[in-house]
Structure 1
Amino acid sequence: MTSPTAHLRGAHRHAPWVSLRCAGGHAASDPALWRCPDCEAPWELATSPEFDPQAIDTTTWSLWRYAAMLPAVPPITLGEGGTPLVRVAVPEGEFLAKLEFLSPTGSYKDRGTAVVVSHLRALGIEEAVEDSSGNAGASLAAYAAAAGVRARVFVPAHAGAGKKRQMAEMGAEVVEVAGGRGAAAVACRQDTGAAAYASHCWNPLFLSGQSTCAWEIWEQLGGSVPDAVVCPVGQGNLFLGLARGFATLRRAGLVAAVPRMYAVQSAACAPVAQAWRAGWPQPVAVDEGVTIAEGILTSRPVRGDEILRVLRHTGGAAVSVADDEVRAAQRHLRGAGLSVEPTSAVAVAALPLLRDQLAGAEVVVPLTGSGLKTL
């Protein structure tokens, strides 16, 4: 029997090299480097295909229907993407929910991980390391297993037991680190050895994968985009991937304007919301704090300046919510038949705060992680 993804094999016959540069103009001498060694800035793709609706592969409903617009790599796929867009009404408000928690490993991270691991495998890399609070590590473990790549994941010792089990059961080595999310990142970068650092925070290919979510929304809305998107933000990878994806649609002349983008953080750790209120060009580091929304516990996002630029350029805003508001939103989502982890409920919890700004708007909220992970 032919594999459902067999038609993807050989879809990219280009060399696996992806050209990278930083904001300072430095070019990467090695495509496996995780950041610019000269200025320590994150890499960006030096060139990227523009969006072409005629190039969509309509024979598949996964993110690889947009293969022509993604970096040229043979895909490692578990069927990621193609998530439903459904209308939801809860006490916090009515919106269209993009059900990213139905991804293969139960979180939106699979879009970015699929593209990153495909690239690493094309380079012949046999081992990858990552630091994660849970979902990114679980995603890397699964895609590394599919690619035949060894995975090692550094996690805070207090990370959710279910997510750590998910990583281990997929064959990843789980390294628990005392301290917070930042401590896990430091420990990981100090102990990569010969492995590639497959960081979802730093790798621009991860953002390429996340952009496919915007393109799916455009298709699901019949060739249009919503008025606004409200998104939980830690590192802001999904937020930025969506923003970049919508921007490519506008550059292609397919939409007249991009949605207003709203970033939502936990009040326990809200560097973006703090910088937004103060009018700063970039966030400053804050204490990680303690929150049930552990997936967005980020003291200073790598691309925080870009997040703030997107907020300004799209007419959006950044807000923060307390854990009690998140619990209520999570409970109301369950009442609507949607089981999500607390981090996913953060954006829904913010809807009452944004009620005046969103009045009459068509709003999309991505629900990012499955509630099954926290049972």
Structure 2
Amino acid sequence: MNGPSLAVRQRSLGDPSIGFPLWPPLVNGCPATSTAEIAYPLEVDYDYDRVDPALFDQPVGPDLARWAPLLPPLHAPTLGEGGTPLLEVAGVHVKDESRNPTWSHKDRLNRVAVSAAVGAGAPGVVVASSGNHGASAAAYAARAGLPAIVLTSADSPPAVQSFVRAYGARVLTVPAAERWPLMRQIVDRLGYHPVSNLTVTHTGHPFGPEGYKTIAYELFRQLGTVPAAVFAPTGYAELLYGVWKGFTELRRLGVATSAPRMYACEPAAGGPHARAVAEDRPAAIVELGPTDAYAIACPVGGHRGVRALRDSGGEAVLVTDGELREARQDLARQGLWVELSSAAGLAAHRRLGRSFDGPVVCLATSSGFKDLDVGRERAEVLTGATVDDLL
């Protein structure tokens, strides 16, 4: 532990001059700047003058509490999240977030978001998710002794639904369009703390993305420098923004002198952040086409991602399912089995076809166990097999 949290308030991304007390977490977006068409997220602000730069001298390892001064109060116990390896693969550095406790990057978010539920005295947590987020929230709620309700859709992978139930969560399978109204009822009537989105454009939990900043801290330590570019699989862009904020903090504190360009890697079937940037809008909603990259298949975008792209000088890159499958296969040939959506970073880097003056990092967000087709393939049984069958 490196001292208590130095978090002091919540701040609007719609107008950063507008602030609110740190508690309670404002889970409905900024009440001062949001409209019926656009919801602006909140983020956590800190007393940066009190941060000891020596915080970043420590080695990379598990448990986000090592970065406690630059996180909201961590009231929920750890499962050993963070400290994931950085591997050189196919000419880039791959940050393998599948090594987290529930095999995805979402563990960093949920350590913080479930901590907010504990700190607020909520009787439980609720999340709308078809995959990684639900499993992670269920695990951290169980670790904190809180009941969890996970609202999922019928087309979510059966293996992932079993994963969620293993933690004791109450899993309700409902039509996708009914998940958010039902979650609103659970929040309003049962007092459960929402750890996923409730707003028209995405704001999500104001504390949660702070957990993703720790990826930036780790990358800086692992590389010994700031990467030139970071490619992040992007659904609602909480990961993208969290990593970007982490690097801006390193620069603000004088630990680093630069920050990377950030790239949102979205399925070509959707791409709300690509649309928002192209049309110079704070956020966008698009019609979603078919894609197997369900973990990042989002028709709704949010202002966090747009801010990260504009402020970093990056851009959104759209990738096809075919490009995702090729990238996933190449990662597997190097010993990394990742979910299809997780290969979006490498696929987007290849599609962009650009060289950078410095290290390039592709974030791999989750395990191949989470894919839609896991467990469906049946192997042929060979009787009387000999080595000739191999030759």
The two structures have a TM-score, normalised by structure 1, of: 0.87
**Shift of the alpha carbon at 1:60?**
7.8
Q: Counterpart of 1:298? A: 298
Q: Which residue matches 1:85?
A: 86
CA distance in 2 between partners of 1:330 and 1:310 (Å): 26
RMSD: 2.5
Change in 2 beyond 3 A, CA 1:138/1:316: same
Alignment of structure 1 residues 241-256 onto 2, 5 Å: 241-256=242-257
Q: SS in structure 1 opposite 2:117? A: helix
Aligned to 2:382: none
Correspondence for 1:283: 283
Counterpart of 1:54, as a letter, is A
Which structure 2 residues correspond to residues 127-138 of structure 1 after superposition, within 5 A? 127-138=124-135
CA contact (8 A) 2:131 2:370 kept: no
Q: Deviations over 1:158-206 (max 9, x none)?
A: 1111111111111111111213xx5423332233332111227521211
SS where residue 350 of structure 1 aligns? Answer: helix
Equivalent residue pairs, number: 354
Does the 8 A contact of 1:341 with 1:371 survive in 2? yes
Match of 2:380 in 1: none
SS in structure 2 at match of 1:263 = strand
The answer to whether the 8 A contact 1:231-1:262 is kept is yes
What residue ranges of structure 2 are gaps of 5+ in the alignment?
A: 198-202, 375-391
Q: Hey, what's the Cα distance between the residues in 1 that align with 2:8 and 2:103?
A: 28
Cα distance in structure 1, aligned partners of 2:241 and 2:348: 19
Which residue type is aligned with residue 300 of structure 1? V
Quick check: which has more Rg, 1 or 2? 2
The aligned runs of 1:40-189 (5 Å cut-off) are 41-47=40-46, 49=48, 52-55=52-55, 58=58, 61-62=61-62, 63-89=64-90, 94-179=91-176, 183-189=178-184
Q: 8 Å contact 1:265–1:346 — kept in the other structure?
A: yes
- With normalisation by structure 2, the TM-score equals 0.83
Moved more, 204-213 or 186-195: 186-195
Task: Write the letter of the residue equivalent to 2:323.
Answer: E
Moved more, 164-173 or 44-53: 44-53
Task: Find the aligned partners of 1:288 and 1:186 in 2 and give their Cα distance.
Answer: 20
1: CA distance, partners of 2:257 / 2:46: 24
- State the distance in 1 between where 2:293 and 2:218 align: 26
SS of the residue 1:27 aligns to: strand
Q: What's the counterpart of residue 384 of structure 2?
A: none
Return the alpha-carbon distance in structure 2 between the equivalents of residues 275 and 137 of structure 1: 27
Q: Secondary structure at the match of 1:282?
A: coil
- Cα deviation 1:53-78 (Å, max 9, x = unaligned): 32359488222211122123334200
Cα distance in 1 for residues equivalent to 2:156 and 2:47: 36
Q: Is the 8 A contact 1:126 1:150 kept in 2?
A: yes
**Cα distance change of structure 1 residues 243 and 282 upon mapping to structure 2, 3 Å threshold:** same
Partner of 1:349: 347
Asked whether the 8 Å contact 1:107–1:368 carries over to 2, the reply is: yes
Q: Does 1:209 align with 2:211?
A: yes
Q: Does 1:308 align with 2:306?
A: yes
Cross-structure match for 2:378: none
C-alpha distance 20-98 of structure 1, shift in aligned 2 (>3 A): same
Residue type at the aligned position of 1:355: G
Query: CA offset at residue 138 of structure 1?
Result: 0.4
Tell me if the contact between 2:227 and 2:260 (Cα under 8 Å) persists in the aligned partners.
yes
Q: Gapped runs of 5+ residues in structure 1?
A: 1-7
Distance 1:191 1:132 in 2: 15
Residue 229 of structure 1 contacts residue 262 of structure 1 at CA under 8 Å; is this kept in 2? yes
CA deviation vs aligned residue, 1:102-137 (integer Å, no higher than 9, x gap) = 100010000010011122213322211111121011
